[in-house]
Amino acid sequence: MKLTSRSVSLIPLVATVSAAVLGASLIVTATANAATTLGAAAAQSGRYFGTAVAANKLGDSTYTGILNREFDMVTAENEMKMDATEPNQNQFSYGNADRIVNQARNQGKRVRGHALAWHSQQPGWMQNMSGTALRNAMLNHVTQVATYYRGKIYAWDVVNEAFADGSGGGRRDSNLQRTGNDWIEAAFRAARAADPGAKLCYNDYNTDDWSHAKTQAVYRMVQDFKSRGVPIDCVGLQSHFNSNSPVPSNYQTTLQNFANLGVDVQITELDIEGSGSTQAQNYQRVTQACLAVARCTGITVWGIRDTDSWRASGTPLLFDGSGAKKAAYNSVLDALNAGGPGPTTTTTTTTTSNGPGPGGCTASVSLNQWNGGFVATVKVTAGSSALRGWSVATTLSNGTVTGSWSANRSGTSGAITWSNVDYNANVPAGQSTEFGFQGNGSGAGLNPACTAS
Ligand code: G3I
């Protein structure tokens, strides 16, 4: 969350934790003020507002002026794709991607990485590969690129567009799919190992309508991944809309249902063809849908001006060709401001050092609350020595857990003990892992206490 002196009140709380506790508790609550840029308006509720950027436009001062003023998240439109970053096998090329990443980070913006593995935009050498050689080449690509950008990427689109359109609800046929159905989870595991701090997303289009077979198929995959501990943190809905593919009436339901699986949801490539008030209303609906879903963490539009769009003739973006704000821009800004703080985000930190690990561990909880529900994300950080296992005690005095991820749990209300699962037991000194849960009620007063083992 972006906190400014204008918009934030800090309310220190008295720590009510046991003698083993070395730290204190703090609740940070954001309140809303009208903001004048998309990024600042989205930040009022802890969300981001991003855009796709093309490296060859960074010299255009109108383009860069809008970019720097309005957006706080950046996606390379083409420059991080497989054909751009590995044009010859095992020869990596990051020049244009670096220009975008460095420009963004120098301006204090975050970056979404797009995309590590995809059936499209493969370099020529990869298009002709199959079987084990292709699987290994794909995994090497994921590992190399994610390692190169390790620590600089907010979220990776690890796998892009792997599901088929139409009523079948299955995987898309591709050379990668023919290496075996587990290619997607293999890519996610490689990405986690290479860049453990980044959120890992599955990204696709035509997954906006909850009733579509493709949406259901992606949902089942994410559900399966969460149940088996495959490291996935987010689902990207590209959300390219036009008259053939309008904003569905159940769009918010789709966002919420994915979020209920225990993943963040991101709108990753938004554009809506049209003009005037109709286009503005559609943009408003999409923005409001995101704001209504606690784990919809941000929106990215797929370009800045209409003339920058891959669908330029459909004028689908928020700025016209001269860089002027369109009605759609104003409707998004107003919706973000009217949305106010959205879900209240509170962060409570409690530190314990009750070993046996000499370095102890810290647990902090970030809580997204709305009327009648909450999502808690708990961060477990190793102290001065590595963790071989950990447990976290929480108190849920007002609410019941309805779902959880990345930890075992002892119950659903009252005193609950959470413990590591196999893949997140080992945490190097000073580093962190996360687990989470959602529930009914407020989730207030969890007071997490970490025990190292
Ligand atoms: O840069 C070359 C130029 O030198 C050359 O003269 C010209 C000739 O065709 O091609 C230019 O490259 C094009 C590139 O865009 C840059 O404009 C490619 O041909 C063209 O294929 C490429 O299209 C991109 C497309 O992905 C490729 O799949 C679009 O810009 C980009 O907006 C689009 O983005 C995708 C997302 O990655 C995934 N989701 C859908 C979305 C829209 O298709």
The pLDDT tens digits along the chain (453 residues) read 333 333 333 222 222 223 233 333 434 344 445 899 999 999 999 999 999 999 999 999 999 999 999 999 999 999 999 999 999 999 999 999 999 999 999 999 999 999 999 999 999 999 999 999 999 999 999 999 999 999 999 999 999 999 999 888 999 999 999 999 999 999 999 999 999 999 999 999 999 999 999 999 999 999 999 999 999 999 999 999 999 999 999 999 999 999 999 999 999 999 999 999 999 999 999 999 999 999 999 999 999 999 999 999 999 999 999 999 999 999 999 999 987 544 556 666 665 655 556 788 999 988 876 656 777 889 999 988 999 999 999 999 988 987 777 789 999 999 999 999 888 899 999 888 888 887 878 888 899 999 998
172, 50, 52, 212: CA torsion to nearest 10 = 20
pLDDT at site 71: 98
Distance 439 CA to ligand 1 centre (A): 42
Positions marked catalytic: 269
CA distances from 222 to 134, 157, 197 (A): 24, 14, 20
254, 402, 381, 350: CA torsion to nearest 10 = 120
Residues with CB under 6 A from ligand 1: 77-78, 120-121, 205, 238, 269, 310
Distance 79 CA to ligand 1 centre (A): 10
In this structure, CATH architecture of domain 38-339: Alpha-Beta Barrel (3.20)
pLDDT at site 352: 61
pLDDT at site 453: 82
Instruction: Tell me the two tokens of residue 170.
Output: 């299955």
Q: Which atom of ligand 1 is nearest to the CA of 81?
A: 37
409, 410, 414, 417: CA torsion to nearest 10 = -70
CA distance 201 to 176: 18
Closest-CA residue, ligand 1 atom 13, reads 78
pTM across the whole model: 0.76
Distance 167 CA to ligand 1 centre (A): 27
* Region of residue 178 (phi > 0: left; psi between -120 and 50: alpha; otherwise: beta): alpha
CA distance 88 to 144: 13
CB of 26 within 8 A of CB of 12?
A: yes
CA distance 303 to 351: 43
Closest-CA residue, ligand 1 atom 43, reads 310
Q: 261 in helix, strand or coil?
A: coil
Cα 332 versus chain centre, distance: 20
Instruction: Tell me the two tokens of residue 9.
Output: 């009140």
CB of 232 within 8 A of CB of 222?
A: yes
Closest Cα to residue 194, out of 262, 93, 116? 116
Could you tell me the sign of the dihedral formed by the alpha carbons of 421, 423, 429, 431, in that order?
Answer: negative
Q: Which atom of ligand 1 is nearest to the CA of 52?
A: 32
Closest-CA residue, ligand 1 atom 22, reads 78
Closest-CA residue, ligand 1 atom 24, reads 78
pLDDT at site 5: 32
Q: Which of 78, 172, 271 to mutate to test the pocket of ligand 1 (most atoms within 8 A of CB)?
A: 78
CATH classification for the domain delimited by 361-452, as one of 2.40.170.20, 3.40.50.10140, 2.60.40.290, 3.40.50.300: 2.60.40.290
- Whether omega before 186 lies within 30 degrees of 0, making that bond cis, reads no
CA distances from 257 to 77, 96, 211, 219, 222 (A): 28, 37, 12, 8, 11
Q: Which atom of ligand 1 is nearest to the CA of 114?
A: 37
Element (H, E) at 435: strand 432-441
pLDDT at site 344: 57
CA distance 344 to 291: 12
Query: Where exactly are the structural domains of the chain?
Result: 38-339, 361-452
Instruction: Tell me the two tokens of residue 42.
Output: 């989205």
217, 296, 392, 356: CA torsion to nearest 10 = 90
Closest-CA residue, ligand 1 atom 18, reads 78
CA distances from 89 to 179, 195, 239 (A): 18, 21, 32
Other beta carbons less than 10 A from residue 36's beta carbon: 10
Closest-CA residue, ligand 1 atom 21, reads 121
What residue type is assigned to position 401 of the chain? V
Q: Which atom of ligand 1 is nearest to the CA of 303?
A: 32
CA distance 82 to 92: 10
Q: Which of 310, 311, 317 to mutate to test the pocket of ligand 1 (most atoms within 8 A of CB)?
A: 310
CA distance 238 to 20: 47
CB of 271 within 8 A of CB of 311?
A: yes
Distance 41 CA to ligand 1 centre (A): 30
Distance 121 CA to ligand 1 centre (A): 9
Distance 449 CA to ligand 1 centre (A): 49
Q: What's the DSSP call for residue 173? A: P
CB of 218 within 8 A of CB of 204?
A: yes
CA distance 34 to 40: 9
- Whether omega before 356 lies within 30 degrees of 0, making that bond cis, reads yes
Other beta carbons less than 10 A from residue 172's beta carbon: 15
pLDDT at site 34: 87
Closest-CA residue, ligand 1 atom 11, reads 78
CB of 32 within 8 A of CB of 7?
A: yes
Closest-CA residue, ligand 1 atom 28, reads 121
Alpha helix (H) residue ranges in 20-130 = 38-43, 61-70, 82-85, 95-106, 124-127
Distance 78 CA to ligand 1 centre (A): 6
Q: Which of 51, 57, 75, 77 to mutate to test the pocket of ligand 1 (most atoms within 8 A of CB)?
A: 77
pLDDT at site 90: 98
Distance 39 CA to ligand 1 centre (A): 26
CA distance 318 to 70: 11
